[in-house]
Amino acid sequence: MRSIATATLALFLFFYGVSPVGASGEDSALQFVQVNVNKVLDILRSCKSGTNCTKEQKRHKLSKLADELFDFRDISRRALGRNVRRFKEEEFQRFVQLFSTMLKNYYINKIDDYSDEKVVFDKEMRLSEEKYQVNTRVIMSDKEIPIVYKLARKDGKWRVYDVLIEGVSMVKNYRSQFDQILKRKKPSYVLALLEKKNAKSVYK
């Protein structure tokens, strides 16, 4: 499955933006991002120096944060779109597992490229009673990149279900890929494809 540069940068930068540690269900979506950003940045900076954790320890911490932070089931459902109806429940459960593993394997391998980019928090916008988006900007040496996080409150916690960079949705990018594949292939083919990709994409 071909990678998408926009989705890569979106989720890559997302790992620098938020952390569930210390956030309460009473926080606003914007507060959730603002309060926790420095905790993840501190981990990345500390591990980058190599004095407080190994590369594998850093990746373990980031993988654990991703499990707590992202709603991978919802992301998987949205990435499949209308094709989700073609998956039996056990196939969909397997898809969630494989797809989330693929995302983590691929994007955590990009974490080592972190170089102290600055994150600016602009505002939050209410999308519905329990859904919000937080608009941010990543300040790089030569440009600013707008990043939008879409969150929903579930079980008293904020969970992310999509990330947009420069207006392009990570979920929609993957949905386009899966839609093209499932026009010709069965769900079992997608599962086999993800299994093969994951076998080749272990943490470096």
First to last CA, the chain: 19
CATH number at residue 179: 3.10.450.710
Closest CA to 35 of 50, 52, 17, 56: 17
Note whether 30 and 119 are within 8 A (CB).
no
Enclosing domain of residue 54: 5-200
Note whether 73 and 169 are within 8 A (CB).
no
pLDDT digits (tens, 9 = 90+) for 125-184: 999 989 999 998 888 788 888 889 899 998 888 888 998 888 889 999 999 999 999 999
pLDDT digits (tens, 9 = 90+) for 18-49: 444 333 445 888 887 776 666 666 667 777 66
Domain count along the chain:
1
* pLDDT score for 81: 97
Does the model's pTM come out above 0.85? no
Q: Please, what sign has the CA dihedral across residues 77, 83, 85, 87?
A: negative
Which one-letter DSSP state was computed for residue 122?
Answer: E
